[in-house]
Structure 1
Amino acid sequence: MQLVWHRNQYWLHVTVEKPALQKVRGDVTAAIDPGEVHTATITDGKEALVVSGRLLRTLHRLRNKVLRKFQKAISKTHKGSNRRRKLLAAKYRFLNNIERRIEHTMHTISATVARWCLVRNVKTVYIGNPDGVQKKDCGRKHNQRVSQWAFGKLRELLEYKLKRHGIELVPVDERGTSGTCPVCGEYTKQTGRVYRCGNTSCGFTGIHRDVLGASGILDKCVNGGFTRGRKLPAAVDYLRPQVLAPKRAA
Protein backbone atom coordinates (compact mmCIF):
# COMPACT_ATOMS: atom_id res chain seq x y z
CA MET A 1 0.00 0.00 0.00
CA GLN A 2 1.04 3.58 -0.60
CA LEU A 3 -0.52 6.87 0.51
CA VAL A 4 -0.21 9.49 -2.25
CA TRP A 5 -1.11 13.20 -2.22
CA HIS A 6 -2.96 14.08 -5.42
CA ARG A 7 -4.00 17.70 -5.97
CA ASN A 8 -6.03 18.46 -2.83
CA GLN A 9 -6.57 15.05 -1.27
CA TYR A 10 -4.89 11.77 -0.31
CA TRP A 11 -5.23 8.66 -2.48
CA LEU A 12 -4.55 5.13 -1.23
CA HIS A 13 -2.77 2.98 -3.84
CA VAL A 14 -3.20 -0.74 -3.15
CA THR A 15 -1.44 -3.54 -5.02
CA VAL A 16 -3.34 -6.84 -5.13
CA GLU A 17 -1.90 -10.11 -6.41
CA LYS A 18 -4.24 -11.74 -8.93
CA PRO A 19 -4.24 -15.36 -10.19
CA ALA A 20 -2.61 -16.18 -13.52
CA LEU A 21 -4.88 -15.52 -16.51
CA GLN A 22 -5.68 -17.73 -19.45
CA LYS A 23 -2.99 -17.73 -22.15
CA VAL A 24 -3.68 -17.70 -25.88
CA ARG A 25 -2.76 -20.96 -27.62
CA GLY A 26 -3.58 -19.97 -31.20
CA ASP A 27 -1.53 -18.25 -33.91
CA VAL A 28 -4.08 -15.78 -35.32
CA THR A 29 -2.89 -12.31 -36.34
CA ALA A 30 -5.01 -9.16 -36.00
CA ALA A 31 -4.59 -5.42 -36.57
CA ILE A 32 -5.93 -2.28 -34.86
CA ASP A 33 -6.63 1.04 -36.51
CA PRO A 34 -6.75 3.63 -33.68
CA GLY A 35 -8.89 6.70 -34.09
CA GLU A 36 -10.32 9.75 -32.37
CA VAL A 37 -13.96 9.16 -33.38
CA HIS A 38 -13.73 5.37 -33.12
CA THR A 39 -11.11 4.62 -30.48
CA ALA A 40 -10.16 1.19 -31.78
CA THR A 41 -11.11 -0.83 -34.85
CA ILE A 42 -9.71 -4.36 -34.82
CA THR A 43 -9.91 -7.16 -37.38
CA ASP A 44 -8.43 -10.61 -37.94
CA GLY A 45 -9.40 -10.57 -41.62
CA LYS A 46 -12.67 -12.44 -41.07
CA GLU A 47 -14.42 -10.34 -38.43
CA ALA A 48 -14.08 -6.75 -37.28
CA LEU A 49 -15.01 -4.79 -34.17
CA VAL A 50 -15.46 -1.00 -34.12
CA VAL A 51 -15.36 0.52 -30.62
CA SER A 52 -16.87 4.00 -30.40
CA GLY A 53 -14.85 6.81 -28.84
CA ARG A 54 -17.69 9.33 -28.65
CA LEU A 55 -17.98 9.00 -24.87
CA LEU A 56 -14.30 9.94 -24.51
CA ARG A 57 -14.85 12.94 -26.79
CA THR A 58 -17.83 14.00 -24.69
CA LEU A 59 -15.87 13.76 -21.45
CA HIS A 60 -12.97 15.78 -22.88
CA ARG A 61 -15.39 18.39 -24.20
CA LEU A 62 -17.07 18.60 -20.79
CA ARG A 63 -13.71 19.01 -19.06
CA ASN A 64 -12.72 21.84 -21.40
CA LYS A 65 -16.05 23.63 -20.99
CA VAL A 66 -16.18 23.44 -17.18
CA LEU A 67 -12.49 24.31 -16.74
CA ARG A 68 -13.01 27.42 -18.85
CA LYS A 69 -15.80 28.54 -16.51
CA PHE A 70 -13.67 27.85 -13.42
CA GLN A 71 -10.64 29.70 -14.80
CA LYS A 72 -12.77 32.70 -15.74
CA ALA A 73 -14.32 32.87 -12.25
CA ILE A 74 -10.96 32.33 -10.48
CA SER A 75 -9.31 35.11 -12.50
CA LYS A 76 -11.80 37.59 -11.02
CA THR A 77 -10.96 36.76 -7.39
CA HIS A 78 -8.19 38.04 -5.11
CA LYS A 79 -5.35 35.78 -4.04
CA GLY A 80 -6.01 34.32 -0.59
CA SER A 81 -9.73 35.16 -0.56
CA ASN A 82 -12.37 32.68 0.61
CA ARG A 83 -14.08 32.84 -2.76
CA ARG A 84 -10.84 31.84 -4.50
CA ARG A 85 -10.22 28.92 -2.10
CA LYS A 86 -13.76 27.60 -2.62
CA LEU A 87 -13.44 27.84 -6.40
CA LEU A 88 -10.08 26.07 -6.39
CA ALA A 89 -11.46 23.29 -4.19
CA ALA A 90 -14.45 22.84 -6.52
CA LYS A 91 -12.17 22.85 -9.54
CA TYR A 92 -9.97 20.08 -8.10
CA ARG A 93 -13.01 18.01 -7.14
CA PHE A 94 -14.28 18.27 -10.70
CA LEU A 95 -10.87 17.37 -12.20
CA ASN A 96 -10.50 14.33 -9.94
CA ASN A 97 -13.97 13.13 -10.91
CA ILE A 98 -13.72 13.71 -14.67
CA GLU A 99 -10.24 12.17 -14.94
CA ARG A 100 -11.39 9.04 -13.11
CA ARG A 101 -14.28 8.76 -15.58
CA ILE A 102 -11.93 9.18 -18.56
CA GLU A 103 -9.49 6.59 -17.20
CA HIS A 104 -12.33 4.17 -16.45
CA THR A 105 -13.62 4.53 -20.02
CA MET A 106 -10.17 3.84 -21.48
CA HIS A 107 -9.77 0.77 -19.27
CA THR A 108 -13.17 -0.48 -20.47
CA ILE A 109 -12.22 -0.01 -24.14
CA SER A 110 -8.86 -1.75 -23.79
CA ALA A 111 -10.43 -4.63 -21.82
CA THR A 112 -13.06 -5.06 -24.56
CA VAL A 113 -10.36 -5.33 -27.23
CA ALA A 114 -8.35 -7.78 -25.09
CA ARG A 115 -11.39 -10.05 -24.63
CA TRP A 116 -12.08 -9.95 -28.37
CA CYS A 117 -8.53 -11.15 -29.04
CA LEU A 118 -8.68 -13.84 -26.37
CA VAL A 119 -11.90 -15.35 -27.71
CA ARG A 120 -10.41 -15.59 -31.23
CA ASN A 121 -7.01 -16.94 -30.12
CA VAL A 122 -5.14 -13.92 -31.49
CA LYS A 123 -1.41 -14.23 -30.78
CA THR A 124 -0.06 -11.07 -32.43
CA VAL A 125 -1.73 -7.67 -32.79
CA TYR A 126 -0.37 -4.90 -35.03
CA ILE A 127 -1.47 -1.39 -34.08
CA GLY A 128 -1.12 1.67 -36.30
CA ASN A 129 0.99 4.60 -35.14
CA PRO A 130 -0.89 7.86 -35.91
CA ASP A 131 2.06 10.25 -35.54
CA GLY A 132 1.39 11.79 -38.95
CA VAL A 133 -2.23 12.58 -38.11
CA GLN A 134 -1.32 14.15 -34.76
CA LYS A 135 1.22 16.49 -36.38
CA LYS A 136 -1.17 17.87 -39.02
CA ASP A 137 -2.51 21.41 -38.63
CA CYS A 138 -6.22 21.17 -39.43
CA GLY A 139 -7.66 24.12 -37.54
CA ARG A 140 -8.02 25.14 -33.91
CA LYS A 141 -10.91 22.84 -32.93
CA HIS A 142 -9.55 19.79 -34.72
CA ASN A 143 -6.07 20.39 -33.31
CA GLN A 144 -7.50 20.58 -29.78
CA ARG A 145 -9.35 17.26 -30.19
CA VAL A 146 -6.27 15.55 -31.59
CA SER A 147 -4.01 16.97 -28.85
CA GLN A 148 -6.34 15.42 -26.25
CA TRP A 149 -6.41 12.10 -28.07
CA ALA A 150 -4.67 9.88 -25.51
CA PHE A 151 -3.41 7.34 -28.03
CA GLY A 152 -0.21 6.66 -26.08
CA LYS A 153 -2.16 5.92 -22.90
CA LEU A 154 -4.53 3.59 -24.73
CA ARG A 155 -1.62 1.72 -26.29
CA GLU A 156 -0.04 1.26 -22.85
CA LEU A 157 -3.30 -0.15 -21.46
CA LEU A 158 -3.69 -2.46 -24.45
CA GLU A 159 -0.08 -3.63 -24.22
CA TYR A 160 -0.22 -4.69 -20.60
CA LYS A 161 -3.72 -6.25 -20.86
CA LEU A 162 -2.76 -8.26 -23.95
CA LYS A 163 0.60 -9.27 -22.48
CA ARG A 164 -1.15 -10.89 -19.52
CA HIS A 165 -2.76 -13.30 -21.98
CA GLY A 166 0.47 -13.90 -23.90
CA ILE A 167 -0.50 -11.63 -26.81
CA GLU A 168 2.12 -9.37 -28.40
CA LEU A 169 1.26 -5.80 -29.43
CA VAL A 170 3.44 -4.44 -32.26
CA PRO A 171 3.29 -0.71 -33.30
CA VAL A 172 3.57 -0.20 -37.09
CA ASP A 173 3.33 2.58 -39.67
CA GLU A 174 -0.29 3.11 -40.77
CA ARG A 175 0.27 5.48 -43.69
CA GLY A 176 -2.06 4.83 -46.62
CA THR A 177 -4.05 2.09 -44.91
CA SER A 178 -7.37 3.99 -44.74
CA GLY A 179 -7.21 5.36 -48.27
CA THR A 180 -5.86 2.50 -50.39
CA CYS A 181 -8.55 0.64 -52.32
CA PRO A 182 -8.65 -3.11 -51.56
CA VAL A 183 -9.81 -3.83 -55.13
CA CYS A 184 -7.63 -1.74 -57.45
CA GLY A 185 -4.89 -0.70 -55.02
CA GLU A 186 -5.08 3.05 -55.78
CA TYR A 187 -4.91 5.63 -52.99
CA THR A 188 -7.68 8.22 -52.55
CA LYS A 189 -7.82 10.82 -49.78
CA GLN A 190 -10.98 10.23 -47.73
CA THR A 191 -13.30 12.73 -46.04
CA GLY A 192 -16.32 10.70 -44.86
CA ARG A 193 -16.69 7.65 -42.64
CA VAL A 194 -17.56 5.37 -45.59
CA TYR A 195 -14.71 4.57 -47.98
CA ARG A 196 -15.07 5.64 -51.62
CA CYS A 197 -12.50 4.78 -54.28
CA GLY A 198 -11.57 7.73 -56.48
CA ASN A 199 -10.70 5.52 -59.44
CA THR A 200 -13.64 5.91 -61.86
CA SER A 201 -12.96 2.52 -63.43
CA CYS A 202 -13.16 0.87 -60.00
CA GLY A 203 -15.69 2.83 -57.91
CA PHE A 204 -15.47 0.52 -54.89
CA THR A 205 -17.40 1.78 -51.85
CA GLY A 206 -19.57 0.66 -48.95
CA ILE A 207 -17.10 -0.27 -46.20
CA HIS A 208 -16.36 1.69 -43.03
CA ARG A 209 -13.13 3.62 -43.46
CA ASP A 210 -11.69 2.49 -40.12
CA VAL A 211 -12.44 -1.17 -40.92
CA LEU A 212 -10.58 -0.71 -44.19
CA GLY A 213 -7.71 0.90 -42.26
CA ALA A 214 -7.43 -2.05 -39.88
CA SER A 215 -7.63 -4.45 -42.83
CA GLY A 216 -4.89 -2.47 -44.60
CA ILE A 217 -2.60 -2.59 -41.56
CA LEU A 218 -3.09 -6.36 -41.35
CA ASP A 219 -2.42 -6.74 -45.09
CA LYS A 220 0.79 -4.68 -44.94
CA CYS A 221 2.15 -6.54 -41.93
CA VAL A 222 1.28 -10.06 -43.07
CA ASN A 223 1.88 -9.77 -46.83
CA GLY A 224 4.45 -6.96 -46.89
CA GLY A 225 2.25 -4.57 -48.85
CA PHE A 226 -1.26 -3.86 -50.13
CA THR A 227 -2.86 -6.79 -51.94
CA ARG A 228 -5.23 -6.10 -54.81
CA GLY A 229 -8.57 -7.85 -54.54
CA ARG A 230 -8.08 -8.75 -50.88
CA LYS A 231 -11.00 -10.11 -48.89
CA LEU A 232 -12.53 -7.79 -46.32
CA PRO A 233 -14.13 -8.78 -43.00
CA ALA A 234 -17.51 -10.43 -43.61
CA ALA A 235 -18.94 -9.40 -40.23
CA VAL A 236 -18.53 -5.98 -38.58
CA ASP A 237 -19.76 -5.28 -35.04
CA TYR A 238 -20.17 -1.78 -33.61
CA LEU A 239 -19.86 -1.35 -29.86
CA ARG A 240 -20.14 1.45 -27.33
CA PRO A 241 -18.07 0.85 -24.18
CA GLN A 242 -20.27 -0.17 -21.25
CA VAL A 243 -19.01 1.99 -18.38
CA LEU A 244 -20.20 2.45 -14.81
CA ALA A 245 -22.37 5.51 -14.37
CA PRO A 246 -21.20 8.04 -11.75
CA LYS A 247 -23.10 7.87 -8.47
CA ARG A 248 -25.48 10.75 -7.73
CA ALA A 249 -25.98 12.12 -4.26
CA ALA A 250 -29.40 11.39 -2.75
Structure 2
Amino acid sequence: MEKIAVGDLGDIREDENGDSRNWGGSGNKKLHGWEFDRFARLLEYKAEEHGILVDRVDEENTSKTCSCCGQIRGSNRVERGLYVCSSCETTMNADVNGAVNIRRKIPQSPPTRDMSNGCLAQPGVFLFDRESGRFTPREQGDCKP
Protein backbone atom coordinates (compact mmCIF):
# COMPACT_ATOMS: atom_id res chain seq x y z
CA MET A 1 0.00 0.00 0.00
CA GLU A 2 1.26 3.46 -0.85
CA LYS A 3 1.87 5.90 2.00
CA ILE A 4 2.15 9.64 2.42
CA ALA A 5 4.04 10.94 5.46
CA VAL A 6 2.95 14.22 7.07
CA GLY A 7 4.16 15.86 10.24
CA ASP A 8 1.89 15.40 13.24
CA LEU A 9 1.07 18.83 14.63
CA GLY A 10 -1.44 17.53 17.20
CA ASP A 11 0.45 18.98 20.18
CA ILE A 12 1.38 22.31 18.63
CA ARG A 13 -0.81 24.28 21.02
CA GLU A 14 0.70 22.60 24.11
CA ASP A 15 4.09 22.79 25.79
CA GLU A 16 6.10 19.77 26.94
CA ASN A 17 3.97 19.55 30.14
CA GLY A 18 0.68 19.44 28.23
CA ASP A 19 -0.27 22.99 29.28
CA SER A 20 -1.50 25.55 26.76
CA ARG A 21 1.33 27.62 25.33
CA ASN A 22 1.24 31.35 25.91
CA TRP A 23 2.53 33.27 22.92
CA GLY A 24 1.15 36.64 24.04
CA GLY A 25 -2.02 38.37 22.87
CA SER A 26 -1.54 38.43 19.10
CA GLY A 27 0.49 35.19 19.09
CA ASN A 28 -2.27 33.29 20.90
CA LYS A 29 -4.86 34.67 18.50
CA LYS A 30 -2.86 33.45 15.51
CA LEU A 31 -1.99 30.07 17.04
CA HIS A 32 -5.51 29.22 18.19
CA GLY A 33 -7.09 30.49 14.96
CA TRP A 34 -4.80 28.37 12.78
CA GLU A 35 -6.47 25.26 11.34
CA PHE A 36 -3.25 23.23 11.37
CA ASP A 37 -5.12 19.93 11.23
CA ARG A 38 -7.35 20.85 8.28
CA PHE A 39 -4.79 20.05 5.58
CA ALA A 40 -4.01 16.62 7.06
CA ARG A 41 -7.71 15.76 7.37
CA LEU A 42 -8.38 16.77 3.74
CA LEU A 43 -5.32 14.84 2.58
CA GLU A 44 -6.47 11.73 4.47
CA TYR A 45 -9.94 12.02 2.95
CA LYS A 46 -8.63 12.34 -0.61
CA ALA A 47 -5.93 9.68 -0.18
CA GLU A 48 -8.45 7.16 1.17
CA GLU A 49 -10.43 7.47 -2.07
CA HIS A 50 -7.33 6.24 -3.92
CA GLY A 51 -6.29 3.57 -1.42
CA ILE A 52 -3.37 5.56 -0.03
CA LEU A 53 -2.54 5.64 3.67
CA VAL A 54 -1.57 8.96 5.30
CA ASP A 55 0.81 8.39 8.19
CA ARG A 56 1.25 11.22 10.69
CA VAL A 57 4.74 11.15 12.16
CA ASP A 58 6.44 13.04 14.98
CA GLU A 59 8.43 16.00 13.65
CA GLU A 60 10.85 16.16 16.58
CA ASN A 61 14.36 17.12 15.40
CA THR A 62 13.50 16.69 11.69
CA SER A 63 14.69 20.23 10.91
CA LYS A 64 17.80 19.85 13.10
CA THR A 65 18.95 16.46 11.77
CA CYS A 66 21.13 16.16 8.66
CA SER A 67 19.37 13.86 6.21
CA CYS A 68 22.75 12.72 4.87
CA CYS A 69 24.89 11.96 7.94
CA GLY A 70 22.35 12.07 10.80
CA GLN A 71 24.05 14.76 12.91
CA ILE A 72 21.53 16.60 15.13
CA ARG A 73 22.41 20.25 15.59
CA GLY A 74 20.05 23.23 15.71
CA SER A 75 22.67 25.63 14.38
CA ASN A 76 22.83 23.71 11.07
CA ARG A 77 19.71 25.58 10.00
CA VAL A 78 21.58 28.72 8.99
CA GLU A 79 18.66 30.75 7.71
CA ARG A 80 14.95 30.18 7.28
CA GLY A 81 15.39 28.22 4.05
CA LEU A 82 19.02 27.11 4.19
CA TYR A 83 20.42 23.99 5.87
CA VAL A 84 24.20 23.55 6.05
CA CYS A 85 25.56 20.53 7.95
CA SER A 86 28.68 21.41 9.93
CA SER A 87 29.72 17.73 9.92
CA CYS A 88 29.43 16.54 6.29
CA GLU A 89 29.03 20.00 4.68
CA THR A 90 25.77 19.05 2.95
CA THR A 91 23.94 22.19 1.79
CA MET A 92 20.27 22.06 0.85
CA ASN A 93 16.89 23.66 1.28
CA ALA A 94 15.94 23.33 4.96
CA ASP A 95 12.37 22.22 4.20
CA VAL A 96 13.58 19.48 1.83
CA ASN A 97 15.97 18.26 4.53
CA GLY A 98 13.11 18.12 7.04
CA ALA A 99 10.80 16.39 4.57
CA VAL A 100 13.38 13.66 3.89
CA ASN A 101 13.72 13.11 7.64
CA ILE A 102 9.94 12.90 8.08
CA ARG A 103 9.74 10.38 5.22
CA ARG A 104 12.40 8.22 6.86
CA LYS A 105 10.30 7.93 10.02
CA ILE A 106 7.62 5.81 8.35
CA PRO A 107 8.33 2.11 7.88
CA GLN A 108 8.27 1.11 4.22
CA SER A 109 7.24 -2.33 3.06
CA PRO A 110 8.97 -3.35 0.89
CA PRO A 111 11.90 -0.93 1.42
CA THR A 112 12.47 1.35 -1.53
CA ARG A 113 15.56 3.23 -2.58
CA ASP A 114 13.49 5.89 -4.35
CA MET A 115 14.05 9.11 -2.44
CA SER A 116 12.75 11.44 -5.13
CA ASN A 117 10.41 14.18 -4.03
CA GLY A 118 8.59 14.09 -7.31
CA CYS A 119 8.05 17.27 -9.23
CA LEU A 120 8.62 20.21 -6.89
CA ALA A 121 7.01 23.57 -7.49
CA GLN A 122 9.27 25.98 -9.31
CA PRO A 123 9.07 29.75 -9.31
CA GLY A 124 7.68 31.43 -12.40
CA VAL A 125 10.35 33.25 -14.39
CA PHE A 126 9.67 36.16 -16.69
CA LEU A 127 12.19 37.40 -19.23
CA PHE A 128 12.34 41.08 -20.09
CA ASP A 129 12.38 41.77 -23.83
CA ARG A 130 14.15 45.10 -24.35
CA GLU A 131 12.80 45.60 -27.87
CA SER A 132 9.13 45.21 -26.99
CA GLY A 133 9.44 46.39 -23.38
CA ARG A 134 7.41 43.39 -22.19
CA PHE A 135 7.89 40.48 -19.85
CA THR A 136 7.41 37.02 -21.33
CA PRO A 137 7.07 33.82 -19.30
CA ARG A 138 9.78 31.18 -19.63
CA GLU A 139 9.13 27.48 -19.02
CA GLN A 140 11.36 25.88 -16.40
CA GLY A 141 12.29 22.28 -15.70
CA ASP A 142 10.82 19.07 -17.02
CA CYS A 143 7.73 19.03 -14.81
CA LYS A 144 4.46 18.89 -16.68
CA PRO A 145 1.09 19.17 -14.92
Give me the TM-score of the superposition, normalised by structure 1: 0.37
What per-residue deviation string (whole Å, max 9, x for no partner) do you get for residues 83-126 of structure 1? xxxxxxxxxxxxxxxxxxxxxxxxxxxxxxxxxxxxxxxx2112
Q: Does 1:221 align with 2:106?
A: yes
Q: Alpha-carbon deviation of 1:132?
A: 4.7
**1:129–1:234 Cα change, 3 Å:** closer
Give the superposed CA RMSD: 3.0
Picking from 90, 94, 98, the partner of 1:204 is 90
Residue identity in the other structure for 1:194? L
> Following the alignment from structure 1 to structure 2, what is the Cα–Cα distance between the partners of residues 183 and 176?
14
Contact 2:57 2:105 in 1 (8 A): no
Of Structure 1 and Structure 2, the greater helix share is in 1
Deviation at 1:210, TM superposition (A): 2.0
In structure 2, the gaps of 5 or more residues are 16-20, 109-114, 124-145
Higher alpha-carbon Rg:
1
Displacement of 1:163: 0.8
Change (3 A) 1:167 1:232: closer
Mark the CA change 1:212 to 1:125 in structure 2 (over 3 Å): closer, same or farther. Answer: same
Q: Which residues in structure 2 correspond to 1:118-129 (within 5 Å)? A: 123-129=2-8
Q: Does the CA-based 8 Å contact 1:124-1:167 persist in structure 2?
A: yes
Q: Percent identity?
A: 30
In the TM superposition, residue 220 of structure 1 has moved relative to its aligned partner by: 1.9
Q: Name the CA shift for 1:171/1:206 in 2 (closer, same or farther; >3 Å).
A: closer
Contact kept, 8 Å, 2:10 with 2:37, in 1: the verdict is: no
**Aligned residues, how many?**
109
Q: 1:236 aligns with which of 103, 120, 134?
A: 120
Letter in 2 for 1:236: L
Secondary structure in 1 aligned to 2:63? coil
The answer to whether residue 48 in structure 2 is matched with residue 163 in structure 1 is yes
TM-score by length of structure 2 reads 0.58
| Runs of 5+ consecutive residues of structure 1 not aligned to the other structure | 1-26, 28-122, 224-230, 240-250
Q: In 2, distance between residues paired with 1:177 and 1:193?
A: 14
- If asked which structure has higher relative contact order (CA below 8 Å, sep 6+), I would say 1
Q: Distance in 1 between matches of 2:53 and 2:102?
A: 16
SS at match of 2:121: strand
Query: Within 5 A, what are the aligned runs for 1:39-188?
Result: 123-136=2-15, 137=21, 139-140=23-24, 141-188=26-73
